[in-house]
Amino acid sequence: MDGRVEHTDVGAYVLGLLEEGDRRTFEEHLAGCARCRAELERLSGPAEALRRIRDEGGDGGR
């Protein structure tokens, strides 16, 4: 990223894919953007489910 914040960065943020500087910049944006906070809340559940699948070995518990 180049220091600009895009509303589409919510997905990358919730998945932990942003680099340190980009993460900090996005968190500053997040503090003032209700739209991104709402999207973050909406994506947090699915992101947690993906982390659990990854941590279980990716086979969905089979």
Q: What is the DSSP letter of 59?
A: S
Cβ-based neighbour number of residue 39 at 10 Å? 19
Return the pLDDT at 1: 46
pLDDT string in tens for the chain (62-residue length)? 455 666 778 989 998 889 999 999 999 999 999 999 999 999 888 888 877 887 888 555 55
pLDDT at position 18: 92
Cα 20 off chain centre by: 13
The answer to whether residues 33 and 7 touch, using CB atoms and an 8 Å cutoff, is yes
Report the alpha-carbon distance of residue 60 to residue 62 in Å, rounded.
6
Whole-structure pTM value: 0.69
For residue 5, give the DSSP letter.
-
The residue to which tokens 């220091």 are assigned: 3
